[in-house]
Structure 1
Amino acid sequence: MTIPGRRASDRLLGLCLLGLAAFVAVQALQLEVPFSYDPVGPKAFPLGLAILLAGLSLVLVVKPGDNGHWPHGALGLKLLAVLGVLLVYATLFTRLGYIATSLLAITALARLFAAAWGKALLTGVLMAVGSYFLFTRGLGISLPHGLWLSALA
């Protein structure tokens, strides 16, 4: 027996994700780069992700699952805290720089899911520094250093 509220949660999530996909697509289409990029350009990756997200969102709207349910109690608060950490991350990304912001966000997320302080901090350092070098050296992507480093120079 299917409870209508369970299907409604999947459909609501699908509609929210569809809105997010539209927002990402609009933002990607507005990207203008003053210098020459490769033939694909910087719009391709976010547009591809937006199309993929839109397709998967439509699946949730059209064919919701039978076992969907709203999170209760502590899990709901944890999910809101994750959303808060990600919003703070997006806000501080250019001000503090990639490494500092990623270190703080990863450590906070690890602590939210019950990691000990030492393990959370070690994970934050390794993931922030490792991904920084992967993006900058391996993929050639420029990441922000932060305004605080500019003030020291």
Structure 2
Amino acid sequence: MSRAADRMLGLILMAVAAAYAVSAARLEVPFAYDPLGPKAFPFGLSALLAVLAVVLLVRPAPGGRWPTGMLLLKVVATLAVLALYGMLFSVLGYVLASALAVLALAWLFDAGIGKACMAAIGMSLGSYVLFTYGMDISLPVGTLFGGH
């Protein structure tokens, strides 16, 4: 990528960070289960994204090339998997959606089917246990399975 492309990406990411912060500001929960509330994590992510966008604006990379061929295909496929994950998260629930996303990403980056399945099961169940029991964060069961 050229310096101009890095700066353009920095501006786009700055706009995304601002939109994410506005979205986080509108987040309302009927009860407060912790002192920070549900807005702290999205605000933190938007601040981090804004800082990284500023780095791209101020210090763009000296050179580089866009990915081509198979690498470009993998980058596009990764973005598609992540977009599908976001769309299916509430429908399939956290565990199933996460398992399918990890399975697809592991397979996409050349893990064998056995390793991909083990990673999908381990990461989805492990992170579910961590979030639910370790952090007391409720995750969606999925409307497909009768959840809300």
TM-score between both structures, scaled by the size of structure 2: 0.93
Deviations, residues 24-46 of structure 1 (Å, cap 9, x unaligned):
10110000111123221111111
Which of the numbers 82, 96, 114 marks the counterpart of 1:100?
96
Match of residue 140 from structure 1? 136
2:61 aligned counterpart, secondary structure: coil
Note the residue ranges of structure 2 that are not aligned, 5 or more in a row: none
2:146 aligned counterpart, secondary structure: helix
Which of the numbers 50, 53, 59 marks the counterpart of 2:55?
59
Residue pairs, 1:59-138, within 5 angstroms = 59-138=55-134
Output the CA distance in 2 between the equivalents of 1:68 and 1:90: 30
Deviates more, 1:49-58 or 1:102-111: 49-58
1:36 aligned counterpart, secondary structure: coil
Match of residue 8 from structure 1? 4
Moved over 4 A (4+): none
Question: What is the CA distance between 1:19 and its match in structure 2?
Answer: 2.1
Question: What is the CA distance between 1:74 and its match in structure 2?
Answer: 1.4
2:104 aligned counterpart, secondary structure: helix
Output the CA distance in 1 between the equivalents of 2:53 and 2:122: 33
Note the residue ranges of structure 1 that are not aligned, 5 or more in a row: none
Aligned-pair identity in percent equals 54
Output the CA distance in 2 between the equivalents of 1:33 and 1:147: 20
TM-score between both structures, scaled by the size of structure 1: 0.90
Question: What is the CA distance between 1:137 and its match in structure 2?
Answer: 0.3
Number of equivalent positions: 147
Aligned 8 A contact 1:9 1:69 in 2: no
Deviates more, 1:11-20 or 1:46-55: 11-20
